[in-house]
Structure 1
Amino acid sequence: MSAKFAPSPEQMRARLSLSLLLGLAACSAPAPGGRFDDGKNDPNVGSFGTPKDPGLGTGTPGVGADGCAEAARLVYVVSDADTLYAFRPSEARFDPVGKLACPAGAATPNSMAVDRSGTAWVNYSDGSLFKVSTKDARCEATSYKAGQGGFVKFGMAFATNGSGSRDETLYVVGIDTGDRGKGLAKIDLSTMTLSTIGDFSGVLTGRGAELTGTGDGRLFGFFTTKPSATLAAIDAARGATSEDRTLSGVSTGVAWAFSFWGGDFWFYTSDGSSTSSVTRLKTSSDRSIGVVKQDVGFTIVGAGVSTCAPTEPPR
């Protein structure tokens, strides 16, 4: 999320002091051509795959017959104050989970993705990648080496490897200064290796973006176009974009993120003059767009939703 939210000098000094105390200890605390024209997808919500990491995520309690932890069906967001929240879209409600205390020095959270076990993967502004529990915000370092392929800050999301697949992939978009980006890549979590895929298409070539993925193998980008942001489907095999939609009245501002849940897109944005607002694009019904929660009380810099989240509206 390009430039994201710039911390104040006081915030940076506080984080640096905390990192010196923590040292290196662990924290305590799509298928190609995917469409979004009607938002109605595979009815077998979250029925693909099994939890990858029950230890850090949510544990085996609450795992359903579809292999998904209940916590993995929610949306999660992280604030510029390092607080993790669970977001319940059907109620437009944010519940605090805990404070992140990842040993990242003065770096700040930049983006987030959530896997099927309910584990959040958080990219920090220095390019580091941490695993965070969505149960208590406990943090764990990974062996990922920052800066691979020139990717430091990146937007990120999991998507299954196609409708019916039991596997998922972590996709990332490299972000430069301003509204520029480095195209699409993926990270192999078994080797912690990043490999580039390709740039976006047309007017979105070279743009930065945030990502969200679905349990039926689709991948979407929230692009930093001006004056209004753009939503587009992404071919996960090539990086090519299609079905661009200008989001009138929605700007990426200084902090932005988005997620796909219940057949609709949910955008979290702040222009810096107030805290984040939540905007909903109803692709499951009339395709209208509108603010559902103004000024939530904190600034959201990252959002993640797992491939267990519903792809159709709750009934």
Structure 2
Amino acid sequence: MQLYNKLSAEERRELIRESGKERLTISFYQYTHLGNPELFRNHLFIAFDQLEVLGRIYVAHEGINAQLSIPADRFEEFKEFLDGIHFLKNVRLNIAREQDDESFLKLKVKVRPKIVADGLDDSTFDVTNKGKHVDAMEFNNLIDDPDTILVDMRNHYETEIGHFKNAWTPDVDTFRESLPIIEKEIEEHKSRKKLVMYCTGGIRCEKASAYYKHRGFENVYQLEGGIIEYHRQVTEKGLENKFRGKNFVFDHRLSERIGDEVIANCHQCGAPCDTHTNCENDACHLLFIQCEECKKQYDSCCSNECQDIIKLPAEEQKRLRAGYYNSNNIFKKGRSEKLKFKKH
């Protein structure tokens, strides 16, 4: 019985192109109580593999967090499978507005301690006592209210390319890091102000809203479905779009356009730009913003040093990135002294 992906990304890309099928990029999450995450993980992998699902799915005792793609002609079959799982029946599916058939190239279903790393002890508070969910129209009204504190619950590399007007965007690397920083900054407003939060698809706000209510915040709100659902609603209902720039997404697309403005800049030359890339050097993979001219000049690398490394023989590159210390420096999110025009 196959329980793990056996094809490389390139092999899967070729199969996707040969099939000629349009694929949908989808995300969803659900908090619940899973007694045996490993058993559920295996059940999901077998079913998703048969449905031609590709993506990254995390399973934990507290629930499921999924970002994936599926052939459009198998969507109803996929939805029927989810509805057959009692805690996923009619779960909200955030369907990307900008589609890319190659948004995911492998199926990975992993058991994790938590579906989002938050550093919280869930036994110390009621995680079901969440903030009030609001739709796009209510959200627009709330953020126009002078008694509202609007907080972006995402990380610095996400908010740099796009965020809501007048939002506070804490300069943090992780969700875990943001929770105490936000609480300390707005503690004096616990009873007077409305705390309104948003994130990519809603999952971070789901936990944060319950935590802040536990910490004494009286008026807590969260954007239902996050930026992804907001974009769908303002488009379909003709509402004012108060989001500036792009929404960072966690697949090969890296972002999708929400607002017309370009609010970021190339980290290498400073030109207006909001396109992320991962450094081509496999020993680096630094996530940073790079314009097309710098992409050509640096061969998709973050620096001349990395540019020199990718020209070395493959075996030499492999040797240079070996070792515990080097592996810890891979996949950094835009924090590097090499980036002359990085804002933070």
Q: Identify which of structures 1 and 2 has the higher relative contact order when contacts are C-alpha pairs closer than 8 Å and 6+ apart.
A: 1
What TM-score comes out, normalization by structure 2 length?
Answer: 0.29
Structure with greater proportional helix content: 2
What TM-score comes out, normalization by structure 1 length?
Answer: 0.30
Which protein has the larger Cα radius of gyration, Structure 1 or Structure 2?
2
